[in-house]
Amino acid sequence: MADELIFFDTLRHGLWVAVIISIPILTAALITGVSIGLVQALTSIQEMTLTFVPKLAAIVLVFWLSMGFMTQTLVAFFKDMIIPLIVGG
């Protein structure tokens, strides 16, 4: 029973870390997509690359800016949760 609790707690914490790490990129994609969609609706321009290229650029920019945060979060998760479970401590 205790092993199952440890497994599910680690899984829950890992999913939470995944959510926290993905928030900046998903927010950038959402804001860019809504902004471009609004511009397309106002100007009646329905070009597919007009939504794809700016959204991709925003995602790459936010990913580049938040890589340090993502790395620190993942390293802390592995150092605090995963490695002690592997070592047995």
Question: Where are the domains positioned within the chain?
Answer: 2-87
CB-hemisphere CA count at 13 Å for 11?
6
Question: Quick one: pLDDT at residue 16?
Answer: 97
pLDDT in tens, 50-67: 888 999 999 999 999 999
pTM of the predicted protein model: 0.80
Of the candidates 27, 4, 13, 30, the one whose C-alpha atom is nearest the C-alpha of residue 79 is 13
46 has a pLDDT exceeding 90: no
**Residue count of the chain:** 89
Q: Mean pLDDT over residues 18-45, rounded?
A: 93
